[in-house]
Amino acid sequence: MKKGLAAVILAAGKGTRMKSALPKVLHPICGRPMLYYPLEAARASGFEQLKVVVGHGAEQVMEAFEDNNLTWVKQTDQLGTGHALMCAADSLRGYSGPLLLHCGDVPLLKAETLHQLQDYHSQHQAAVTVLTAQMPNPQGYGRIIRDGEQILQIVEEKDANEEQRQVTEINAGTYLFDTAFVLEALKGLKQNNSQKEYYLTDIVAAAVAEGKKTRALCVEDPTEVMGINDRCQLAEAEVLMRWKINADLMFGGISMVDPTTVYIDNGVEIGIDTMLHPNVHLRGKTTVGKNCIIETGVVVVDSQIADGVHLKAGSAIEESRIGHNCKVGPMAHLRPGSVLTGNNKIGNFVEMKKSVLGEKSQASHLTYIGDSEVGQNVNFGCGTITCNYDGVNKHKTTVEDDVFVGSDCQFVAPVTIGRNSLIAAGTTVTKDVPPDSLALARTEQKIIKGWRLRKQKKS
Ligand code: UD1
Ligand code: CA
């Protein structure tokens, strides 16, 4: 048996109310699957042995958390939350510490609250300690029926009478149990309720019947224990989490013109004095340095942006690296594998893919650079195209330092342009260009004097 405190996280339910082919716990919130958050909260509050009960879409769920050092428990038929914990009983054999049970669809719960729940549970030496909240609108939640400090019963909405429905203290679906007690009591659960399920919540009444202590810790902020059952609640949770991410960043020295329209995934890092304009999306494994300006409509995915970078309106950047003091956009597209070393300028309607640009090289307008290695101080004129694809294979273009490329040139790859060469405007380069040369490939211009006048007279 592994050391450390044990927690069981329930994630086997179908999530019927989501009306989705994707298992509920995989629906993303601020860039991570919902289940990520309960797992992190449990870990951060000292639970090292995490047993996750999966059933509906089990393979998909396990795949999404491949490298996370978890114990997976299968619940083949979803017969209720009590049945889900029964399925984990074997994996808890020999464990005698307090047992945390937490739901995979409660993503906003903080680790601090789980700490408080542990303290409260051990102070009171209860058999069951339930996390609860006062919900202004308790609809859909189990209600807490108390006798002072002792919790007598949890009644599900569907089984509650009119009086019980008036109760606003609800069950968050998070508990600490005396492990030996709960594993024994589970055996006595019945399906005699409106949903014909084994309710975990019935453990409370079972404890009371045995004369044991049952307690509840009521959280201050009810939004923290919000359960996600449908897509409206999903969106609500996303708004709350997004606000928290943005608030933490602003307290940390990042400016946002309108934080209600800035979309930053969990885990994105940003340096101080960076300014984010409205409608900016920073997603996935993205980092942004200090003193950057990110203008409206910019989408950055899985990319590293260094200090002093200016990303102009409407640019899209994926799996790319942008070095110090670069200027990108407006409306530039950096596709996977683009590297700007530093002090580069990428202007409007420039697309890059799998290409490295050395220091100070630039492409200011209407250019495609793909599968290329470009040195320093290279200037691409308006309308430069690397013809990297012959219909079967991709080929590389190499442009050495200090090359000047005039407007409207094509490089038919594979091709190498030697350092300090000049490519004349309108040239289609099909052969390697030696260093320090001029490459010129266009038909010579003809002038026919008076041609227009003669034409006009005829008609
Ligand atoms: C449950 C509680 C309710 C509480 C609410 C808090 C019960 C009977 N009810 O209701 O008192 O107020 O959570 O959000 O426990 N699951 C399984 N296997 C199953 C059934 C569910 O793993 O057979 C998992 C689900 O994936 C989900 C969690 O358990 O993560 C809760 O299940 P759900 O059906 O959402 O319960 P609620 O109706 O919300
Ligand atoms: Ca739920």
Residue range 391-449, pLDDT digits in tens: 999 999 999 999 999 999 999 999 999 999 999 999 999 999 999 999 999 999 999 99
Nearest CA to ligand 1 atom 20: 80
Cβ within 8 Å of residue 143, ≥6 positions away: 154, 155, 157, 160, 164, 165, 167, 169, 170, 171
pLDDT band at 1 (very low <50, low <70, confident <90, very high): very low
Q: Does domain 5-225 have CATH number 3.90.550.10?
A: yes
Distance 76 CA to ligand 2 centre (A): 19
Q: Whole-number mean pLDDT of the chain?
A: 97
* CA 450 from centre of chain: 67
Query: For tokens 């034409």, what's the residue?
Result: 455
The DSSP code sequence of 241-265 is HHHHHHHHHHHTT-EES-GGGEEE-
- pLDDT for the residue numbered 194: 94
Taking the centre of ligand 2 as the mean of its atom positions, its distance from the CA of residue 326, in whole angstroms, is 47
The rounded percent of the chain whose pLDDT value lies above 90 is 98
Using the predicted structure, report yes or no on whether residue 49 has a pLDDT greater than 70.
yes
The helix-helix angle for 179-186 and 202-209 (nearest 10°) equals: 100
pLDDT of residue 14: 87
Q: What is the number of residues in the chain? A: 459
Ligand 1 pocket residues where CB is under 6 Å: 10-13, 53, 75, 78-81, 83-84, 103-106, 141-142, 154, 156, 170-173, 199-201, 227, 229
Domain edges within the chain: 5-225, 231-439
Q: Quick one: tokens of 187?
A: 């055996």
- 3-class SS of residue 381: coil
81 alpha carbon to ligand 1 midpoint, in Å? Answer: 6
- Rg of the chain's alpha carbons, rounded to an integer? 31
In this predicted model, what pLDDT tens digit does every residue of 374-404 receive, in sequence order? 999 999 999 999 999 999 999 999 999 999 9
Q: Which ligand is nearest to the CA of 155?
A: 1
- Which residue's C-alpha comes closest to atom 3 of ligand 1? 142
Which CATH superfamily is 231-439 part of?
Answer: Hexapeptide repeat proteins (2.160.10.10)
Atom of ligand 1 nearest to the CA of 77: 23
- pTM for this model (two decimals): 0.93
pLDDT digits (tens, 9 = 90+) for 268-289: 999 999 999 999 999 999 999 9
- Mutating to test ligand 1, I would choose from 39, 81, 158, 229 the residue with most ligand atoms within 8 A of its C-beta, which is 81
- Which parts of 209-315 are beta strand (E)? 214-219, 255-256, 262-264, 269-270, 275-276, 280-283, 287-288, 293-294, 299-301, 304-305, 310-311
Q: How confident is the model at residue 67 (pLDDT cuts 50, 70, 90)?
A: confident
From the CA of 169, the nearest ligand is 1
pLDDT tens per residue, range 124-161: 999 999 999 999 999 999 999 999 999 999 999 999 99
Q: How confident is the model over 43-62, as a mean pLDDT?
A: 97
CA distances from 178 to 7, 196, 304, 338 (A): 12, 26, 47, 55
